[in-house]
Amino acid sequence: MKALKIATFNINGIRSRLPGLLAWLERERPDIACLQELKAPDTAFPRDALEAAGYGCLYQGQTSWNGVAILARDSQPVEVRRGLPGMEEDTQSRYLEAAVHGVLVGCLYLPNGNPQPGPKFDYKLRWFECLIEHARGLRESDHPVVLAGDYNVVPTDEDIYDPKSWRKDALLQPESRDRYQRLLSQGWTDSLRALYPDERVYTFWDYFRNHWQRNAGLRIDHLLLNPALAPYLKDAGVDAWVRNEEHASDHAPVWIELATRKRR
């Protein structure tokens, strides 16, 4: 295993966020960056600027909504699949998978699901079931695999500043949490939680009510490792400084570092 830094970042509009994205890439230098919510069609993807910054790009965009990308420093990600098996009729760009730097990377943007109950929540659960089914095969692989992205699930009440006003939100529903736990129970490691079992760690702070200033956040961006990769997990964290910048996304980048040798 090569020493690697892998990050996931819901950028909430790649065009309006491009200067901040480039500043983050330059400062933190992730080897692999999974992006979500590009909110741009492929024709508007800033490929030239990212390649000039040293990153090969693979992307699945869409006008206005969703959109995912995988960036790799000094390398071109090799596409393995776009879209989940069982979701062939899905018109929303939410899943991209690539081989890069010796790791199989799944970049995902799980549906939000609000309001619930309703068709959007049903879609979220359906999408989640397809992810669980696809992940089963990836988990069994002898090859290192990471599933990184915005899962739109707050796994437990320890992953939110205060669940009170969010009880009816799709992100906290038992159905959403059950599916996240079912995914983990296949044998995936939730990187941040594995290294920081008792800490309050957030990855998202909405634009309302001064939530960033009050550190009223949610942990919804996750990097899951299969058993072939988990032994190499060395460190993990959140680049919270990005959330504090002018014109920031409401998410901050989350990252892991992998060691060259097994640690456990």
Residues forming contacts to DNA in the complex (CB under 7 A) are: 10, 12-16, 37, 39-41, 63-65, 111-112, 114-115, 120, 150, 152, 165, 169, 171, 204, 206-209, 218, 220, 247, 250
Closer to DNA by Cβ: residue 38 or 233: 38
* 162 residue type, one letter: D
Closer to DNA by Cβ: residue 24 or 204: 204
Nearest approach in angstroms of CB 133 to DNA is 22
Closer to DNA by Cβ: residue 206 or 235: 206
- Catalytic residue from among 109, 151, 180, 232: 109
Nearest approach in angstroms of CB 207 to DNA is 3
Nearest approach in angstroms of CB 21 to DNA is 12
- Catalytic residue from among 31, 55, 59, 150: 150
- For the chain, the three-class secondary structure string (H helix, E strand, C coil) is CCCEEEEEEECCCCCCCHHHHHHHHHHHCCCEEEEECCCCCHHHCCHHHHHHCCEEEEEECCCCCCCEEEEEECCCCEEEEECCCCCCCCCCCCEEEEEECCEEEEEEECCCCCCCCCHHHHHHHHHHHHHHHHHHHHHHCCCCEEEEEECCCCCCHHHECCCHHHCCCHHHCHHHHHHHHHHHHCCCEEHHHHHCCCCCCCCECCCCCCCCCCCCCECCEEEEECCCCHHHEEEEEECHHHHHCCCCCCECCEEEEECCCCCC
Nearest approach in angstroms of CB 145 to DNA is 23
169 is catalytic: no
Nearest approach in angstroms of CB 25 to DNA is 18
150 is catalytic: yes
Closer to DNA by Cβ: residue 14 or 252: 14
Closer to DNA by Cβ: residue 37 or 257: 37
Catalytic site residues? 109, 150
